[in-house]
Amino acid sequence: MMKSSLKIKRIFLASAGVLGSLMLSPAFAQLSQPVLSLRNIVQFYGGLPQQDRAISLLQQQIDKSHPELLQADSIAANVWRNSATLIGHEDILSGISESDRIGTDPLDMAMSVANVRTGAPVEIEALYGPGVDAPSQAMITITEGGLLDDSVAGFRYRFDINNQAGQWVIARAGRQFRCQPGRGQQDWSAELCS
């Protein structure tokens, strides 16, 4: 058993899932219409005033409850851009052996690559989607802080893992650093600490 203070959040995002339900009022929820999905918002956006207002409301709710989801260096932003690597991260995919890039559980795979240290506070966020019963992708973030190191205060790992024919495959992997005071950046960055 790991002695770290481990905090795991599993968030399931389906095309008609969590984020879409944020915009439903009780009166709207009683209608026989399907739950509003981000895919439908993008597909049917026409620049109408009520659509702009709804998008602004959704943006405010995301910024308030989960601002990390839409940060410039988030996994979702990197997947949206279709970048080969995670922008704002040190690319670590080439350092992962071919055999470790394939597995049956994306969370176990990410934990293995991150090699979480015993005793350090750890937060893990696992986003799965689309589809709760049979998700086709996982986006895992592992944040390790409070390191007893003279230079590095913490590591943050991000993984974009796809389900391909029943096997999970790491498509992108990145790492960021937060430095001790006086040893470099205090925000997450790909820059090494001094």
The CA distance from 125 to 141, in Å, is 5
The CA distance from 190 to 194, in Å, is 13
Taking 60 as the threshold, does the pLDDT of residue 174 lie above it? yes
Q: If you compute the radius of gyration of the chain from its CA atoms, what whole number of angstroms results?
A: 19
With cut-offs at 50, 70 and 90, classify the pLDDT of residue 11.
very low
The pLDDT, as a whole number, for residue 42 is 86
The pLDDT, as a whole number, for residue 135 is 86
> 87-96, 131-140, 153-162, 184-193: lowest mean pLDDT where?
131-140
- The letter for the amino acid at 111 is M
Beta bridge partners of 103: 168
Taking 90 as the threshold, does the pLDDT of residue 9 lie above it? no
Decide the pairing of beta strands 122-129 and 6-12. Answer: parallel
With cut-offs at 50, 70 and 90, classify the pLDDT of residue 81.
confident
> 116-120, 148-152, 157-161: lowest mean pLDDT where?
116-120
With cut-offs at 50, 70 and 90, classify the pLDDT of residue 30.
very low
Overall pTM surpassing 0.75 (yes/no)? no
Which tokens is 39 given? Answer: 């895919």
Q: What is the mean pLDDT of residues 11-30?
A: 39
The pLDDT, as a whole number, for residue 134 is 79
CA dihedral sign of residues 91, 97, 101, 103: negative
- The letter for the amino acid at 76 is A
pLDDT-above-90 percentage for the chain? 44
